Structure 1
Amino acid sequence: MMQSLLSKDVLYPSLKDILNKYPAWMEANGGSLSSADRQRYEKQQELMTEVCAALEKESDGDTKSDKKARFENVLTLMQKLQDYGQPPTDLVGDLGPSIPFDAQGNPNLNQCSLM
């Protein structure tokens, strides 16, 4: 099930959308952020870039071994990303239905409409 949630079809469109909005958002809001928040958001952006790059490498000719390695890499990156909490609400608020997050920014899979 985790492989389905971390697949390119499910994960990539939302992450790419957020990632595309990050530079303009940081330019507009970066000056009003605390140093800690700015660093956290910059790290989120960096990790999202890595996840998208990993997912973009997916091809129809991938072996089972390639798919497993990519899944493990994406899973590790997403776990690191989770450590930095939820992205700015301005960036994720208009993405429509998604996995709900708790107050700490962790996915609340009990309330997930995908489950």
Structure 2
Amino acid sequence: MTYPLIVVPFVVVTVLVTLATRRRPRFRERMVASGWAAGGLLILTAIFDNLMIAADLFAYPPEHLSGLRIGLAPIEDFSYPLCAAFLIPAVFELLSPRLPQEAS
């Protein structure tokens, strides 16, 4: 079960960095947009990973997998697009300069 263990640090970093932006403006909107992006990326991953595995472009040693699959694609493959959909916007938000709040 090597691949599930490789995924854990990516998921932990994604959660921590995303939570670090929760007090930034428009957090909720960013989470909704990340959710939509994640959904699209997961669909594309399901389609193309299954096609590439079916075409024998690559294979995974079963002893290194959790055993859970979506079609031919191991569930571990879906963690990277999911993390990217949330981590990239969160990092961008943290690296963007904070603008002073306008007086009401």
TM-score of the superposed pair, with normalisation by structure 1: 0.32
* Relative contact order higher in (CA < 8 Å, ≥ 6 apart): 2
TM-score of the superposed pair, with normalisation by structure 2: 0.34
